[in-house]
Chains A and B, each alone.
Chain A
Amino acid sequence: MGNKQTIFTDEQLDAYQVSLFSFPRLHGRYHELAPHLVPMDYTNEPDCKVPLALIVNMPELKENPFRNRIVESFSEDGMGNLSFNEFVDMFSVLSEMAPRELKAIYAFKIYDFNVDNYLCKEDLEKTLNKLTKEELTPEEVELVCEKTIEESDLDGDHKLSFADFENMISRAPDFLSTFHIRI
């Protein structure tokens, strides 16, 4: 793993431990992604970012249809370049210890493809096509998106705001069990 050589101050480690839901081996993994970019010594918090293309190829994310969106929603610049902190943050939110609301927020961000803070039809179509590998006919996609909006749209604006989304997701039985990644 190489994480033995990873250097953190105790203080830093402590801080990460407390502020994250999971912090095992994360730096090792981060370093593996781009050995030439990421230094092992992290005591003075060097400023480095790993590009999206590398992160998306992690085995944990590789098969996920939303991998690009996940990484993008956690990156500060929206382009998918993750600093170590953001990287760690991502796996913390996706760990199974994170509470439902926290997950809901990020799930909303992930499904919000065009980053307008609403899940509009366009977003839903993209989500659906990613989920089904575009095996549904356009009419079916249309129907499903219509129904989805109809079901959860409470304020009648034909798109889902976060309030709608949270209301819906808070009742979903398997949201917590499916929206997490073990690392």
Chain B
Amino acid sequence: MPRKSDAAKMEEVGIEIDGDLSESDDGGTQRRANRRQAGGRGGVKGRGRGKKPASDDDDEDDEEEDEAPRGRRGANRKKPAKKRGGNDDEDESEDEPPKKKRGGAANKKRGGKAQDSDEEDSDVGKGKKGKKGGGKKGKKEEEEETKGKKGNGKGKGKDKGKDKDDDKDKKKKKKKGDSSSDSNSNSSEEEESMSEGEMARLMEEVEEKKKLIANIRNKPWRMQRRLKLLKEAQEFVDKFEGALGKGKGRKWYAYKVMMTKKWIKFQRDFENFRTACIPWERKIKEVESHFGSSVASYFIFLRWMYGMNLVLFGFTFGLVVIPEVLMGLPYGSIPRKTVPRAEQDTAQDYSVLMDFNGYCKYSVLFYGYYNDQRTVGVLKFRLPLSYLMVGIGTFGYSLMLVIRTMAKNADVGGGDGEDSDFTFAWKMFTSWDYLIGNAETADNKYASITTSFKESIVDEQENQKDENIHLRRFLRVLANFLITCSLGGSGYLIYFVVKRSQEFATRDDLSWYEKNEMEIVMSLLGLVCPPLFETIAELEDYHPRIALKWQLGRIFALFLGNLYTFLFALFDEVNTKLEEEQSIKNASIWAMKEYYANYSRLMNDSEATPPPMDPADVIRGPCWETAVGIEFVKLTVSDIQVSYLTILIGDFARAVIVRFLNYCWCWDLEAGFPSYGEFDISGNVLGLVFNQGMIWMGAFYAPGLVGINVLRLLSSMYYQCWAVMATNVPHERVFKASKSNNFYMGLLLLVLFLSLLPVVYTIMTLPPSFDCGPFSGKDKMFDIIMETIDLDLPAFMGTLFSYAANPGLIIPAVLLMVLAIYYLNSVSEAYQNSNMELKKKMKMARDEEKNRRNNADTTNQVMKDLEDLLPNRSLIPPAPPEPEKPPEQEPKPKPTKTKPGTAGKGVNLQKDVALASSNPNARGPVSRPPGPRGPGPGPGAGPGRGRGRGPPPR
């Protein structure tokens, strides 16, 4: 006992404040609860009802009637009751029990269950609780009702306690002493009597205490108080548990907590592991934190590209290259796998190899190396068929992947809604990660928070911007006109140069410039146009995100010219090679015959089979496929070199110079002219897209190209990450890239389609070379499929295919597809509309809520204005006093938040002004009066009169 009283004292000293907090809202909620319960439940159990109010020590009104019941309860509780002394929180938690008690002893089990659920609440279902907390004021009453029956009263009590203590700190500080003394004295009186019903109640209370113990961690109390309460509760439980024959639970609970912790830890580790499995996630995050999501979007795109190329690489190598290497004929066995004798001397020279001639040309990297054997190896692997299938499958897979990703991104874009209601608030309060304990990470985090704020600020500024719309429109039209002009100009220039180069091709006396005219013009255009477009785009003054899209689109159009010239030149080459081939074919056959004839003549034995000709000596065709492949590989490699060198010189060297020459220069290099480079998003993205186009086009003729590309992307990831972190500075206006970089995907899709065309054209129309590649000897490449159908599949399949290829079947199928597209399109449009509609509704609901909470001031004001505008009002002579009231009515609603006097007035005026601007007519009656009126009778007369006048407008 002495210890306990000590404890009580301490609490009184130390914990008063906290006690008050919880008490204060207890007062509010429980009072209500009381009444209701008194009315609604009284019949069930008189005692229960009495006890409930006992909790409201702070409730002056109910204080008297509380007294008696409290005594009873005190009897049950004995010591705890005494301890309760200066401590009201305990009340709050212990008061609940009696409520539950009403349910009877039978509920004990449920109580136990409830406890479990409570724990789960605290551990897992925090969200649920949050909701409960949010709506509590309103919901509380309902809950209280159910509480009587269910055991989980404690949870709610807790909620209540947590609710608002912070808000209402310094109120009601007395009143504790008396309640405690009451209970003390009463408890001692009735301590002896303990009936059956009381036993039951006792058990309930034990349950309650246990629950308190279980949940004590969730309460926003000071530690000391918690310990105190805990001790009390434990003692209580210890004391009575034995008597009531209930002892376990604690262990089970501890075990459960431990398991929960373990489970959470496991989940965390698993999550970490998963994040660690995403390649370069940390690198990209780091870039993002310093350069914003727009730059990071490039790297994410690059990573995506890498993933796709890895799959393509897997297909190509697994199904084409590896089988050929393992099961096909070895190098040197047949002419197409051998370096011709004329080239053998230089075949290993570095310069030759770098041009992908010599040994490179006659290797698995290129089309020409593959043999036309129908099957290779013991597995009877149909290599030519596989080659064609992989070639087509590459496109099929890429197409599918791009479209799928686009669809998924569109889904994401619609789903999570970037424009959340709390963009800034969440950034402000939840962006700092309290786990960060490392200085470097912290710096990154600061940078990323700043960046993300800047991004949102840019968005916000863009939303708020409203200037001369006509000027803006004019400028945009002008800018588009200028850019169209320059695009058209450069298009014509390219066309002109290509024409000229064809002309030059027939001549021999060319100067260096004339030889390289096309390349020079192309690279000049590529150098000049993008910055030009960027400059012109300044006129448009778009949001940087939209500006980037425009920029991308325009440069894309320019680069298409590049592609066009390249393809044009290539087809020229192919055509000449095809012509050349025809003659060589004859020569080759003739040479072969000659060889055999010579052999038999020399041997004088026409019967003997001559040994085959040395493969190096056979006359070869030009093998246009390999030539095309080499062309693409060269282009890709030079592209890699150029882009890496650009980074090294344009960014790194520049950064070094700016950084170190700045010490001894006449102007500030860092802030002034050269400064550091910015990361060129549009250029890099387009580079990546067009490079991928090259890969798609070239992969059919050079299976090794995919491997080269994978290496390129891999190195590029590290290299560019390093370069951007080391040498670039963030953009002036960091902007948020849309999460779904669908625009990049769209460009990629376009390029994929464009690169699909020439390849399919060659496969379907051009005859393959007669002496190289898997399709040699066929008229067309796709004949291999016909052959397979005829030879390897059952006959009916052939007829089936021939039916399927019938135009009568194809045309309806196409029609059906068109119709399906149309239908799906209109469905998606409808969904979009309803989506917009719902969004609007949500926004409206939110505004409404705001308004309602807003004391309905604004709406009232509008109503009043409307009333004042009624014709009769302004006509009736005695009206004058009327319009004076509205302003004074203001202080009435105000008191809830501020002092009635001064603050209310300020707001009042403000609102009037706002209204006046929106509705000039209302100005006369409403906004005038507040000026002179306000200071005078304001607070005094206001509320009274205001009240009288308040209701009608509602």
A76 at the interface (CB under 8 A from B): yes
Q: Assuming A101-B133, A135-B450, A156-B853, is B430 touching A179 (CB within 8 A)?
A: yes
Q: On chain A, which size bracket covers the interface?
A: 35 or more
Q: What's the Cα separation between A169 and B166 when bound, in Å?
A: 15
Once the chains bind, are A170 and B162 in contact (CB under 8 Å)? no
Given the complex of chains A and B, what is the CA–CA distance between A96 and B214 in angstroms?
A: 17
B439–A63 contact, CB under 8 A? Answer: yes
Bound Cα distance A89, B421 (Å): 33
Q: Does A32 contact B (CB under 8 A)?
A: no
Q: Known contacts being A76-B14, A154-B849, A167-B134, is A100 close to B126, with CB within 8 Å?
A: yes
CB distance from A97 to the nearest CB of B (A): 6
Contact B426 A168 (CB under 8 A): yes
Q: In the bound complex, do residue B218 and residue A154 qualify as a contact, i.e. CB atoms below 8 Å apart?
A: no
CA distance A85 to B15 in the complex (A): 13
Q: Given that A85-B222, A156-B850, A162-B167 are contacting pairs, would A100 and B130 also be in contact in the complex, using a CB cutoff of 8 Å?
A: yes
Distance in angstroms between the alpha carbons of A92 and B221 in the assembled complex: 12
Closest to A159 in B: B897
State which of A15, A83, A151 has its C-beta within 8 Å of the C-beta of B425. Answer: A151
Task: Check A170 against B134 for contact (C-beta < 8 Å).
Answer: yes
A124–B429 Cα distance when bound, in Å, is: 9
Residues A41-66 near B (CB distance < 8 A):
59-60, 62-66
CB distance from B400 to the nearest CB of A (A): 32
Known: A63-B442, A133-B446. A85 touches B227 (CB 8 A): yes
Q: With an 8 A cutoff between CB atoms, is A10 at the interface?
A: no
Pick the contact of B453: A101, A132, A171 (CB < 8 A).
A132
Cross-interface CB contact of B434 among A17, A64, A165, cutoff 8 Å: A64
Whether the pair A147, B129 counts as a contact (CB closer than 8 A) is no
User: Which of A88, A89, A147 interacts with B424 by CB under 8 Å?
Assistant: A147
Asked if residues A151 and B223 are in contact (CB atoms below 8 Å), the reply is: no
Q: Please, how many angstroms separate the alpha-carbon atoms of A86 and B226 in the complex?
A: 11
Cα distance A105–B454 in the bound complex, in angstroms:
28
A72 is an interface residue with CB less than 8 A from chain B: no
Chain A proximity of B686: nearest CB distance (Å): 32
Determine if B745 is an interface residue (Cβ-Cβ < 8 Å).
no
In the complex the two chains form, what is the Cα distance from A140 to B213 in whole Å?
Answer: 48
Contact with B along A155-178 (1 / 0, CB 8 A): 111000111011111111111111
Q: List residues of chain B with CB within 8 A of the CB of A173.
A: 426
Q: A155 vs B898: C-alpha distance in the bound complex, in angstroms?
A: 12
Given A19-B216, A143-B460, residue A169 in contact with residue B227 (CB < 8 A): no
A99-112 vs B, CB cutoff 8 Å, 1 = contact: the mask equals: 11110111111010
Please state if B131 and A170 are interface contacts (CB–CB under 8 Å). yes
> Contact: B169 with A117, CB < 8 Å?
yes
Query: A15 to B227, alpha carbons, bound, how many Å?
Result: 6
B424, A170: Cβ atoms under 8 Å?
no
A175 to B457 CA separation, bound complex (whole angstroms):
22
A96 to B435, CA, bound (A): 10
- Smallest beta-carbon distance A143→chain B, Å: 6
Alpha-carbon distance A155/B897, docked complex (angstroms): 9
B855 within 8 A of A: yes
Given the contacts A63-B437, A86-B222, A147 and B429 also touching, CB distance less than 8 Å: no
B166:A156 contact, CB within 8 angstroms = no
Number of B residues near A (Cβ < 8 Å) is 74
Report how far A117 CA is from B170 CA in the complex, Å.
Answer: 11
Q: In the bound complex, do residue A168 and residue B434 qualify as a contact, i.e. CB atoms below 8 Å apart? A: no
Main secondary structure of the interface of B (DSSP, over half): helix
User: Does B264 belong to the interface (CB within 8 Å)?
Assistant: yes
Complex CA–CA separation, A91 to B137 (angstroms): 30
A147–B216 CB distance below 8 A: no
Question: In chain B, residues 315-360, which have Cβ atoms closer than 8 Å to a Cβ of chain A?
Answer: none
Once the chains bind, are B436 and A63 in contact (CB under 8 Å)? yes
Let me know if A94 is at the binding interface, CB within 8 A: yes
Binary CB contact string for chain B from 215 to 246 against chain A (1 if under 8 A, 0 otherwise): 01111101110110011001000000000000
Tell me whether A178 and B431 are in contact (CB under 8 A): yes
Verify if A18 is at the interface (C-beta below 8 Å from B): yes
| Contacting pair B422 A151 (CB below 8 A) | yes
Majority secondary structure of chain A interface residues (helix, strand, loop or mixed): helix
Q: Residue A79 at the B interface, CB < 8 A?
A: no
Which residues of the other chain, A, contact B853 by a CB distance below 8 angstroms? 154-156
Q: Does B159 contact A (CB under 8 A)?
A: yes
B854 at the interface (CB under 8 A from A): yes
Q: Are B424 and A148 in contact (CB under 8 A)?
A: yes
Establish whether residues A151 and B430, one from each chain, have CB atoms under 8 Å apart when the complex forms: no
The answer to whether A144 touches B220 (Cβ under 8 A) is no
Taking the nearest CB of chain A, how far is it from the CB of B578, in angstroms? 62
Beta-carbon contacts under 8 Å, B103-133 to A: 121-123, 126-127, 129-131, 133
Residues of B within 8 A of A175 (CB): 426, 429-430
Q: List A22-51 residues whose CB lies under 8 Å from chain B.
A: none
A166 lies within 8 A of B854 (CB): no
Once the chains bind, are A128 and B428 in contact (CB under 8 Å)?
A: yes
Q: Which residue, of B123, B424, B434, B437, has the highest number of chain A Cβ atoms within 10 A? A: B434
* B604 lies within 8 A of chain A by Cβ: no
Quote the shortest CB–CB distance from B263 to chain A (angstroms): 11
From B231, which residue of chain A is reached at the shortest CB distance? A15
B261 at the interface (CB under 8 A from A): yes
Q: Quick check: is B165 within 8 A (CB to CB) of the other chain?
A: yes
Residues in chain B near residue A162, CB distance under 8 A:
164, 166-167
| Cα–Cα distance between A140 and B460 once the two chains are bound (Å) | 10
A20 to B227, CA, bound (A): 10
In the assembled complex, the CB of A164 is this many whole angstroms from the nearest CB of chain B, namely: 9
Cβ of A127 < 8 Å from any Cβ of B?
A: yes
With an 8 A cutoff between CB atoms, is B438 at the interface?
A: yes
Asked if residues B130 and A170 are in contact (CB atoms below 8 Å), the reply is yes
CB distance from B919 to the nearest CB of A (A): 20
Mark interface residues in B403-430 (1 if CB within 8 Å of A CB, else 0).
Answer: 0000000000000000001111110111
Considering the complex, give the chain A residue whose CB is closest to the CB of B121: A99
Distance in angstroms between the alpha carbons of A100 and B130 in the assembled complex = 6
CB-CB under 8 A from A93, the residues of chain B are 220
Bound CA–CA A44/B772 (angstroms): 93
B422→A168 contact, CB < 8 A: yes
| Per-residue A-contact encoding for B173-189, CB less than 8 Å = 1, 0 else | 00000000000000000
Partner of B437, one of A59, A104, A133, A140: A59
By a beta-carbon cutoff of 8 Å, the part of chain A in contact with chain B is 15-21, 59-60, 62-66, 76, 83, 85-86, 88-89, 92-94, 96-102, 104-109, 111, 117, 124, 127-128, 131-133, 135-136, 140, 143-144, 147-148, 151-152, 154-157, 161-163, 165-182
Known: A18-B214, A63-B436, A178-B432. 11 other contacts (CB 8 A): A18-B216, A64-B432, A65-B432, A100-B129, A101-B126, A108-B166, A136-B450, A155-B853, A171-B422, A179-B430, A182-B435
11 contacts between A and B (CB under 8 A): A15-B230, A19-B230, A64-B434, A83-B224, A98-B217, A131-B449, A156-B857, A162-B167, A166-B130, A167-B134, A175-B430
